[in-house]
């Protein structure tokens, strides 16, 4: 049985995590720990690049952060007081080690390493143009386009050349760039993905600067959270201090609302707000919007736990851990030859019959993507003796894919793209189904000014022109179609039109 079949993880998948250190004698060790705290943002590969002031040293490998950097001698080969790291779940390019980051180049701007969280929506178009002009690509990752545009910029200083390169690109990027003596942290003008600045005292009494995707990485190091990198801001950190450069014209902010629903850790502060506060609020609002007479509230662990806690608090229905998750699932598994009903989902979850039997259950999760796993879980809860099963989802129906750095199935695979909540309820075999409304989701993250991207719930995309080719395979192992998306001329903020080329 393949890993995707086995793990049955019917979620949008996180993209990448980045962590950087400037001015600490143990920079690579700190990056290792930072990546460890950001492991939930990508588990396929990881890498660290360090600088001792003259040379860049790199180590990248497939696997999780601990297994890569606990190998004897690996961190010792990454000396210096500057380092950046990256943990990856591929969103563009295939999963090979070739695409692991940070990418390191030696070009006319010197030795440079890049770690990128996000997805460039016009990367395929730029790649074609650059190849036509003679550029030779080493990877099929969209990040390499930045490298080639950087090398081609006529601007001699790196901050200017980076600005030149990034102003030609569209989409999502929270980017770390390391040279032998400087660290840059850059966030795209719409601010899709998070990026934060922190500070840590060094043994010498100086402050080291830290950059991370999420603040939970600072907590592990006892570092202080200073602030967000603003959308459209480039921080240049050198021995002269920190310089803030606004490298791009302002654009309406489009921070990923799904970071608050699911991706980010609840102990992080994302886009200036506690993720835990958002999750509690959205599940309280869910309980107000979709009340039901029931005996217990049961989360689908682990991701549904915060939402179920909020639902239980608001509804005053007792919270019970009626499903237990096995955290030790390996990457492959041999199914017994005699078929076991719901074998895959049972490997991951098991119901506690003594809690569920005879009860009216509110089953809470944070999203439904394809619906197939949710259906198996509903059946499992019924098989454990539940009298009724009422499914509650702490976000709106997910109707459209993400093109901004998140691994999503195709539109056709998203159950809510072509089915009403009533149809989905029937498919799940539930007694009732309730999704949080978009207005309540915005209320939960305090989005009074429309600062958040909600495209996967609306099908309306914020970028004026989106062109991308998804190469390789999607998370189902199926070959992805090449997709070209354009906004209809003169349609302003209206929906984009999707053209598919097989």
Q: How far is the CB of 447 from ligand SF4 (least distance, A)?
A: 11
Tokens encoding 377: 């879980």
Which of 65, 196, 234, 453 binds ligand SF4 (CB under 6 A)? It is: 453
Which of 158, 176, 200, 456 binds ligand SF4 (CB under 6 A)? It is: 456
Closest CB to ligand SF4: residue number:
402
Nearest to 266 by CA among 257, 274, 258, 256: 274
Q: Name the residue nearer to ligand SF4 (CB basis): 83 or 456.
A: 456
Binding mask 373-402 for ligand SF4 (x = CB under 6 A): -----------------------------x
Which of 213, 454, 463, 467 binds ligand SF4 (CB under 6 A)? It is: 454
Which of 99, 143, 159, 455 binds ligand SF4 (CB under 6 A)? It is: 455
Of the residues 16, 216, 256, 456, only one is catalytic, namely 16
Q: How far is the CB of 87 from ligand SF4 (least distance, A)?
A: 18
Interface segment toward ligand SF4; rule CB under 6 A; list 20-28, 254-262, 342-350, 422-430:
254-262
Q: Name the residue nearer to ligand SF4 (CB basis): 6 or 261.
A: 261
Binding mask 190-209 for ligand SF4 (x = CB under 6 A): --x-----------------
Q: How far is the CB of 392 from ligand SF4 (least distance, A)?
A: 20
Q: Name the residue nearer to ligand SF4 (CB basis): 29 or 117.
A: 117
What distance in Å separates the CA atoms of residue 214 and residue 220, rounded to the nearest whole number?
11
Binding mask 309-338 for ligand SF4 (x = CB under 6 A): ------------------------------
Helix (H) or strand (E) holding 305: helix 305-315
Tokens encoding 3: 């890993």
Q: How far is the CB of 172 from ligand SF4 (least distance, A)?
A: 7
Binding mask 8-47 for ligand SF4 (x = CB under 6 A): ----x-----------------------------------
**Could you identify the residue written with the tokens 């890498």?**
47
- Enumerate residues 6+ apart whose C-beta is below 8 A from 480: 410, 470, 471, 472, 473, 474
Q: Name the residue nearer to ligand SF4 (CB basis): 41 or 390.
A: 41
Tokens encoding 394: 């702490």
User: In 152-240, which ranges are E strands?
Assistant: 174-178, 183-187, 196-201, 207-212, 224-228, 233-238
Interface segment toward ligand SF4; rule CB under 6 A; list 135-143, 181-189, 282-290, 450-458:
450-458
> Is residue 406 involved in binding ligand SF4 (CB under 6 A)?
yes
Per residue, the 3-state secondary structure of 411-431, as one string, reads HHHCHHHHCCHHHHHHHHCCC
Distance of CA 46 to the CA centre of its chain: 15
Q: How far is the CB of 312 from ligand SF4 (least distance, A)?
A: 26
Nearest to 14 by CA among 109, 166, 160, 117: 117
State the number of binding residues for ligand SF4 (CB under 6 A): 12
Which of 404, 444, 463, 496 binds ligand SF4 (CB under 6 A)? It is: 404
Tokens encoding 363: 């089953």
The residue length of the chain stands at: 502
Phi, psi of 413 (to 5 degrees): -80, -20
Determine contact, residues 158/182, Cβ cutoff 8 Å.
yes
Q: How far is the CB of 441 from ligand SF4 (least distance, A)?
A: 10
Tokens encoding 189: 């003008």
- Enumerate residues 6+ apart whose C-beta is below 8 A from 423: none
Q: How far is the CB of 140 from ligand SF4 (least distance, A)?
A: 21
Interface segment toward ligand SF4; rule CB under 6 A; list 42-50, 70-78, 120-128, 452-460:
452-460
Does the annotation count 453 as an active-site position?
A: no
Which of 200, 256, 270, 345 binds ligand SF4 (CB under 6 A)? It is: 256
Q: How far is the CB of 98 from ligand SF4 (least distance, A)?
A: 25
Q: Report whether the peptide linkage leading into residue 302 is cis, meaning its omega lies within 30 degrees of zero.
A: yes
The DSSP secondary-structure symbol of 203 reads T
Cα-based angle 476, 479, 483 (whole degrees, multiple of 5): 110
Alpha carbon separation from 440 to 273, 284, 288, 299, 452 (Å, rounded) = 16, 10, 10, 20, 13
Determine contact, residues 75/83, Cβ cutoff 8 Å.
no
What distance in Å separates the CA atoms of residue 29 and residue 70, rounded to the nearest whole number?
11
Residues that bind ligand SF4 (CB under 6 A): 12, 192, 256-258, 402, 404, 406, 453-456
The residues assigned a catalytic role are: 16
């Amino acid at each position: 049985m393949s890993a995707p079949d086995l793990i049955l993880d019917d979620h949008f998948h996180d993209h990448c995590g980045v962590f950087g250190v400037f001015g600490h004698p143990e920079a690579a060790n700190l990056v290792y720990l930072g990546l460890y705290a950001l492991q939930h943002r990508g588990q396929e590969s990881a890498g660290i690049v360090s600088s001792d002031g003259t040379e860049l040293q790199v180590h990248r490998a497939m696997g999780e952060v601990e297994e890569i950097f606990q190998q004897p001698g690996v961190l010792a080969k990454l000396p210096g007081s500057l380092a950046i790291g990256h943990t990856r779940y591929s969103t563009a390019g295939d999963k090979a080690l070739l695409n692991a980051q940070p990418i390191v180049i030696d070009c006319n701007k010197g030795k440079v390493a890049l770690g990128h969280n996000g997805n460039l929506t016009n990367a395929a178009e730029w790649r074609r143009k650059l190849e036509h002009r003679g550029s030779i690509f080493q990877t099929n990752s969209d990040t390499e386009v930045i490298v080639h545009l950087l090398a081609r910029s006529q601007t001699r200083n790196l901050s200017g050349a980076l600005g030149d390169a990034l102003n030609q690109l569209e989409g999502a990027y929270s980017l770390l760039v390391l040279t032998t003596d400087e660290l840059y942290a850059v966030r795209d003008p719409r601010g899709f993905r998070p990026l934060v600045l922190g500070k840590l005292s060094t043994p010498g009494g100086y402050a080291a600067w830290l950059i991370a995707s999420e603040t939970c990485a600072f907590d592990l190091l006892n570092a202080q959270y200073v602030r967000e990198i603003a959308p459209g801001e480039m921080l240049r950190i050198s021995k002269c201090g920190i310089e803030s450069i606004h490298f791009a014209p302002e654009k309406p902010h489009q921070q990923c609302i799904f970071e608050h629903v699911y991706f980010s850790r609840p102990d992080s502060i994302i886009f200036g707000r506690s993720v835990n506060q958002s999750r509690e609020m959205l599940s309280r609002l869910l309980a107000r919007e979709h009340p039901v007479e029931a005996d217990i509230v049961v989360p689908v662990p682990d991701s549904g736990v915060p939402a179920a806690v909020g639902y239980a608090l608001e509804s005053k229905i007792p919270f019970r851990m009626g499903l237990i998750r096995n955290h030790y699932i390996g990457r492959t598994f041999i199914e017994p030859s005699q078929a076991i009903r719901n074998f895959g989902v049972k490997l991951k979850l098991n119901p506690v019959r003594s809690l569920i039997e005879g009860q009216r259950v509110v089953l809470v999760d944070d999203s439904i993507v394809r619906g197939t796993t949710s259906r198996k879980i509903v059946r499992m809860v019924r098989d454990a003796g539940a009298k009724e099963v009422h499914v509650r989802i702490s976000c709106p129906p997910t109707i459209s894919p993400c093109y901004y750095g998140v691994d999503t199935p195709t539109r056709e695979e998203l159950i809510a793209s072509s089915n009403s909540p009533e149809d989905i309820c029937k498919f799940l075999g539930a007694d009732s189904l309730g999704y949080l409304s978009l207005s309540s989701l915005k209320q939960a993250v305090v989005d009074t000014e429309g600062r958040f991207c909600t495209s996967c719930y609306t099908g309306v995309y914020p970028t004026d022109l989106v062109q991308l080719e998804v190469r390789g395979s999607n998370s189902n192992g199926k070959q992805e179609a090449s997709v070209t998306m354009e906004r209809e001329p003169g349609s302003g903020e209206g929906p984009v039109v999707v053209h598919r080329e097989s």
